[in-house]
A and B are shown apart, each in its own frame.
Chain A
Amino acid sequence: MSLWEFANPRKFMATTDRLVVPLFLLAALCLGTGLAWGFFFAPDDFRQGSTVRIIYLHVPSAMMAINSWVMMLVASLIWLIRRHHVSALAAKAAAPVGLAMTLMALFTGAVWGQPMWGSWWEWDPRLTSFLILFLFYLGYIALWSSVENPDTAADLTSMLCVVGSVFALLSRYAVNFWSQGLHQAASLSLDRDENISNAFWLPLVVSIAGFVILFVALVLLRTRSEIRLRRVRALELKERIS
């Protein structure tokens, strides 16, 4: 079986029909477990106190904000190179989910920053690049809805996605590129000495898994809706011609 088989809308719809509900249930299980574990049973941090509980929302949502754009970039490149409509529609479907994740990361970051930094917002490299990423999501969604021809909209939004990828990358590596600002470096590391304690790490990993699965479930559900809408437009055009 080739991955390109899923470029066929009929094949995509038939395959994903069986996946969406189980994925939502699995996401609910992981999110429920990870967030309840982190909120009720994980200890306070010796310096940040109980605010460390915000990590179980902030880190996964920030990760998905960036990864969502990366997924849109891959789908957009497939559209630009191979002209598969499903990939363009998948990129369109992922944008509102990425926007929600970015908003959640900005919101939880502000609420966490206020007691720790004494400020809701700072023009710190990572915060600023995340705000720009948020604006790119808004621009991407606005561009899709402002162009009537779907193929032209897919072309233009794909180009915007390629340009915006610079900011998606910047928001991930801003702390490393500019060693300034208030935001700390990455909480998760493969280096055992740098990584956070297992007491925080384990519920965080379960929560991240929940966010990833929820993202996949939402993108599949929304892509199916976009494919159906495309079919409706084609049938309405046929009605008008006949």
Chain B
Amino acid sequence: MMPDLGAYALEVALAYAGSFVILIVIIGLSVMQARRTKRLLDETERRNSDA
């Protein structure tokens, strides 16, 4: 299943690993920001409706 990457195995693996890290970081940060802002808006709206 695993292709024979020959002499360039390290470079190919490094490119894929580094890219996945960048993708995971940007997706993770975006999802965390979305959850945080949703919670913050819910709290603020609740406070405003109580007042």
Contacts and interface: CB of A to CB of B under 8 A. Distances in A.
Contacts of A103: 22
B15 A218 contact: no
Nearest to A233: B44
Contact of A111 (B15, B23, B36, B38): B15
Interface string B22-51: 110111011101101110110011011001
Given A96-B29, A108-B19, A111-B14, A221 B34 contact: yes
A100 B19 CA distance: 9
Contacts of B19: 57, 61, 104, 107-108
Contacts of A228: 37-38, 40-41
A49 B7 contact: yes
B44 A50 contact: no
A149 interface: no
Nearest to B3: A40
Best-surrounded residue of B7, B15, B16, B40 (most CB of chain A within 10 A): B15
Contacts of B27: 214, 218
Contacts of B45: 235
A232 to B, nearest CB: 5
A123 B30 CA distance: 33
A144 interface: no
A54 B37 contact: no
Q: Is the interface of A mostly helix, strand, loop or mixed?
A: helix
Interface in A183-224: 214, 218, 221-222, 224
Nearest to A31: B23
Contacts of B11: 51, 54, 111-112, 114-115
A63 to B, nearest CB: 14
A222 B27 CA distance: 10
A229 interface: yes
Contact of A225 (B22, B26, B37, B47): B37
Interface in A65-109: 96-97, 100, 103-104, 107-108
A108 B15 contact: yes
Contacts of B40: 228-229, 232
Interface of B: 1-9, 11-12, 14-16, 18-19, 22-23, 25-27, 29-31, 33-34, 36-38, 40-41, 44-45, 47-48, 51
5 contacts: A57-B16, A115-B11, A214-B23, A218-B27, A238-B48
